[in-house]
Every structure is written in C-alpha cells, then in structure tokens.
Chain A
Amino acid sequence: MNGAQILTRALEAEGVDIVFGYPGGAIMPVYDALLESKLKHILVRHEQGAALAADGYARSSGRVGVCLATSGPGATNLITGIGNAFADSVPMVAITGQVHSFNMGTDAFQEVDIFGISMPIVKHSFIIRKVEDIGPIIHKAFEIARSGRPGPVLVDLPKDIATDIYDGYQPQEPAKMTLPRVDAKHLAQAKEMIAASKKPLIYAGGGVRIAQATEQLLAFVEATGIPTVATLQGLGAIAGTHDQFLGMLGMHGTKAANLAVQDCDLLIAVGARFDDRVTGKLLDFAPGARVVHMDADPAEVSKLRTADCSLVGDIRTTMNFLHVTPECKEWVELCQKNKKEFDWKYDAPIDTVYAPKFLRKLSDAMSGDTIISCDVGQHQMWVAQHYQFERPECHLSSGAFGTMGYGLPAGIGAKLANPESPVVIVSGDGSIMMNIQELATIRRYNIPVKIVLIDNEVLGMVRQWQELFFNERYSEVSLWDNPDFLKLADAFNIPGIYIDKDEQIDDAIQSIKDTAGPLFVHVKIDQKDNVWPLVPPGKSNSQMMEAAAK
C-alpha cells in the first residue's frame, strides 16, 4: 500500500463514512486512493465550506468531522473553519496535502507552513515525516480530537510520503474515551452547598452536549427542582419548553434568566465557561453567588470566575451524585413569576414579517429532531431566543467564533450525518453570501435542506450597534444591492418562495414541511427590527436595554 491508501484505510478504521474536501496538486495521491476506498467524498466549492460542513457533521452527530484540502491556499482556506471548531470545542481532523518533503522550506509552488499557521487554533497537529507513521498518527489524531475537551487536529501530509510504499500498516480500533471521576470530597462539598442554598441556579453550557449528558442534566434539574438557564451553546441541553427552564442568559438573554443569575446565591455551572457574552461585566456577574463549576477542562475552572467548588471530570457521573433538594420554594416561585411576566409576546398586529414570530411558529411546527443550522447575526440571536430546542445537537450555531458563512455548509454536514432529520438553515443576507457557493454542493448531491433567508438588506447586528452605540452613524452596513436571491437559487436549480407579509408565514412554513427536496425561502423583514433585550458591552446583566416588542 502507498501512504495515501494507508490514510484512507485508517480513516475507515476510525469509522469515518464521509469526508468533505476539495482536490489539488499536493493532495492528489489521497484523491486517487479515495477512488477505491469506502469513504464518501463530498466535493464542496471552497475549502472553508469543507471545514464548516465537517463541523456541522460533528456537532450534530457527536462523531469526528473530517475535511481534506491541498497545500497552500487550499490549506489556508480551511483556517476559519478550524478556528471555528477550536473555539466551540468541535472534534475535527483536518488533513492537508503538503509539497514534497524535499521541497518543504524552499518556497515551492503552493507551499505554506500550515503547521505553523494553524498552531494557535488546533488542539494538536502533526507533519507526517515517514510513511510508516501515517496509520499511528491518524489514529492518534482521532483520539486527541475526541478526548477530554474535543477540538480540531491538523495532519499535514507531504506528497512524497503519500506515495511511498509501506506494507506493515495494521488498522486500529478507535480509542476508548474516559474522563476522570471527580474527587469524592469535592462532590460532598458541592452537595452541601446545594442543600444549603436558598436561591440556586443551574447554568448549562455547550459541555452538556459534548459530554452527551442531557439525560443526566434533566435528572439533576428535576431531582433538585432548581431553575435553569443556558448559554447559546447550551440551548437544548434542557428542553426549551421545560417548566424549570428560564431561557438563555447573557447579552441577548431573557429577562427572567438574567434576573435569576444576578439574584442567585449559588450558581452551578455545568460545562460552561463564563464567556464575556454570557457574563457582561464580569465583576458584576452573579454578584452574590457562590460558584460550583463542573467541566471536563481544568483550565476553564477559575479562569474567569473563581469557583468555590471545582468538579473537574466527567459531568455525567458528577451530576448523578448531586441529587439533593434545597429548600428554595420562594425562589422557584419568583423565577416562575418572572418567566411568565417577561415571556415573549408575538401578538401585536403588524403586516410585515416579524422574524421572532416566524421562528416561534417554525419551532411549533417542526418535529423535535429538526436541526437548525444558523448563520451569524441578528437572525442567529432570534433563533436562540425564539426557537425551542429539545436537544442540543439540533442547534448548530457558531458561538465563540461568530463565523458568518457557517450556516449553509454546517447545515449540509448536518443533513449528511442525519439523513432522517429535517434540517433548516437559517441565514441572513450578509452571512449567506459568505459561502453562497455551497448552493452548488446542495444541488450536486440533491441535499434536501431548507434555507430560510431572513433578509433586511443590511448587516443587521452591526447596524443595531451603530444605532445604539455609535450615534446612528451607519458605516458600510447597507446591502441595498443584494442579488435577487430567488434568481440566484434558481441558477442552482433550487426552487424558492418569497414572503414579506405576516399572513404568508403559515403557508411558507407548510412549504418547508411539505417540500421533499431543497427549498429556498426568502423572508423579507423590516430593517429596523432589532434584537431585544440587549446588555450593552461592558455593562452588568442587570442593565438590559429593551424596546417595545412587536
């Protein structure tokens, strides 16, 4: 076997079924080996699309996403997708072709030091120097990508190594993943703190999905009776319709969630990391609370907020040990009262489409296994606020990196990983143009995703901040010259519908449910619709700005 054949065999041994990529000179031996392998290759139209599709595949399935690119610009085009995976702890193996070993370091054609360029945004990386190392390195890359706090691993493969011959490769079983159990003394301390609390609050993050701990979280929430809030990445960790769920916290969180955080006396962080979009002004975040912090990554505990009790290890087993019931009836009633009082309202009579109303209706209409793949901007926050997720794997959103252009390729990856689940891509007119070329991928493989484009002819989130914090000085946010999106979809042979009136919402959602193949739904909204509530940058979460909801 040559090196490229060993590579494809090793990927098969790791259980990989789909790889996303784009061929080129230095990766050609691998593309040659793909012809005889069991791997299905999805040809994207830009390497960034490959990395983001691998991300959507991984987040929605819990498996490792794999992307392939050639050297030089092919490799650098992966970078944003790798950074996105690193920021949101997504397991990924990115394989890049490299120029011949003897040409490395000579500024050869399409040579770039991708090993060096990617270093700050990978969990680990390898340059393969010998053909016999290919198998062990690929297996190690998967183990590292999946273990502990997951992340992307880059493997750079010089072309000559991919064509060298080696017959000693033995496929390995995927490594078993284990996390340390939490120290019993710390568990006892956490239990005491919960039992003694009068105003406890659970703050669930993306770590719940990563640890596949939704069952344990639900049992913990219900056994303790503690009100619960979630981060953007934690949405769906507990069902959006659950009685004890107060909503997302943070910059665009619900009032009930943020008030609870600011007032609680015990904050139980479960797979969350006190991100600045969650805490607002850190010193004023949950000012009267003691903190119990459970996480797989010891570096996150006490990084930003000192934990009074740290529980580092497997959050699934940890939560099972904490089933105590604090006496906090008055607190629970207060949280419930706030939840009811500040609940979303969608009943104002308007003619235009109000995106939050559209999204809540979509949420009500779609099945619980529907995957929503978001882009980045106002529509992303409206999805987070108004779509009620039953499972965290159903909400794909570029959280920490905020990568515009994420939604379309990630939705493609998610649909290929979950062919039985409906996939709806919710995008904006800014974001969708960042990876619009992937409409060709949808067409090529006839991937039946539904694309909801929420179009306000503006970079809405930037416009909102310029309105609020830059004295309405609008700088380079107008997208008045957008293309005709339905003509564009038609050019890729994707059927589309257009709505701009409230009365058309129900029919559009029915089309989403009824259409078998891909569908492009162009939803025109009012440019002045903003995302509320909003905690201004640098302010405490108790200082929420609000406007009259429609």
Chain B
Amino acid sequence: MKSNIEITMSNSEGVLERILGCLRQRGFTLCSISATESADESALVAHIKIKSERSIELAVKQIRKLYDVHSVMVEAMEEGQNGYRHLQAATSQA
C-alpha cells in the first residue's frame, strides 16, 4: 500500500530527519518527498509518499507524537490498473 501524507511542522533543526527516521524505523519506505518553507520561514510543509505492508495509522500516530509536528493529513492510495485511486482522505491535528 502506498500513501501520501502532508505534514506541517515547525521549521526547526533536524525536523525532516526526525520524521524520515521515524517512518523508516516503523517499517515505511520512502517513495518521494518534497518540502516547502512558509513565507515567514517558521514552518515547513512536506508532501511525502511512503509504502508499507503496515497500516498508515501506525505511521500517522507516531509522527503526530513528534514535538515539532503541527498536523498530519493523510490520503491513502492504492495501486490500480490506471495509476492510483483515492480511497480516503482524513485531516487531523497533532
């Protein structure tokens, strides 16, 4: 299962490293990543695609615990014949 996550976080030292480390250790493989600084440079918004046999809920709950993370938005996706198909979308606050 591949999933897209949007994470909003403080633009603090090591924050992306912390998120990527958490995902790797919990059994999620990175497919793609992009991150953009907010206009005032205080926040980062990252769009991350990951894949795993494990439930995306596990990754979301662990990322939400990170002190610098403000919110996590999940779009679960599934591989289909014609690329990807949306299954669900959920927004949550840290």
Where the two chains meet, the residues of A that have a C-beta atom closer than 8 Å to any C-beta of B are 115-116, 119-120, 123-127, 129, 144, 297-299, 302-303
Instruction: State in angstroms the CA–CA spacing of A120 and B61 once bound together.
Output: 15
Shortest distance from the beta carbon of B66 to any chain A beta carbon, whole Å: 8
**7 closest pairs, A vs B, by CB?**
A299-B61, A124-B67, A299-B65, A119-B21, A299-B62, A120-B21, A119-B18
Contact A303 B58 (CB under 8 A): yes
The B interface is mostly helix, strand or loop, or mixed, namely: helix
A-B contact pairs, 17 of them (CB 8 A): A115-B13, A115-B14, A116-B14, A119-B17, A120-B21, A120-B25, A124-B67, A125-B14, A127-B13, A127-B14, A297-B65, A298-B61, A298-B64, A299-B61, A299-B62, A299-B64, A303-B61
Instruction: State in angstroms the CA–CA spacing of A498 and B61 once bound together.
Output: 52
Question: Number of contacting residues on B, CB 8 A?
Answer: 16
Q: A298-B61, A299-B62, A303-B61 in contact; A116/B17 too (CB < 8 A)?
A: yes
Those of B3-22 within 8 Å (CB) of chain A: 13-14, 17-18, 21-22
Excluding A302-B57, A303-B58, 12 further A-B contacts by CB distance (< 8 Å) are A115-B13, A119-B14, A119-B17, A119-B18, A119-B21, A120-B22, A120-B25, A124-B66, A124-B68, A126-B13, A299-B62, A299-B65
Most buried by A among B22, B25, B58, B65: B65
The residues of B that contact A127 with a CB separation of less than 8 Å are 13-14
Where the two chains meet, the residues of B that have a C-beta atom closer than 8 Å to any C-beta of A are 13-14, 17-18, 21-22, 25, 57-58, 61-62, 64-68
Shortest distance from the beta carbon of A29 to any chain B beta carbon, whole Å: 22
The residues of B that contact A126 with a CB separation of less than 8 Å are 13
The residues of A that contact B22 with a CB separation of less than 8 Å are 120
Shortest distance from the beta carbon of B16 to any chain A beta carbon, whole Å: 11
Name B68's closest neighbour in chain A (CB-CB). A124
Instruction: State in angstroms the CA–CA spacing of A198 and B73 once bound together.
Output: 41
Name A115's closest neighbour in chain B (CB-CB). B14
The residues of A that contact B13 with a CB separation of less than 8 Å are 115, 126-127, 129
Shortest distance from the beta carbon of A306 to any chain B beta carbon, whole Å: 11
Instruction: State in angstroms the CA–CA spacing of A129 and B12 once bound together.
Output: 12
Name A124's closest neighbour in chain B (CB-CB). B67
Shortest distance from the beta carbon of A232 to any chain B beta carbon, whole Å: 23
The residues of A that contact B18 with a CB separation of less than 8 Å are 119
Name A153's closest neighbour in chain B (CB-CB). B67
Shortest distance from the beta carbon of B26 to any chain A beta carbon, whole Å: 10
Instruction: State in angstroms the CA–CA spacing of A202 and B57 once bound together.
Output: 27
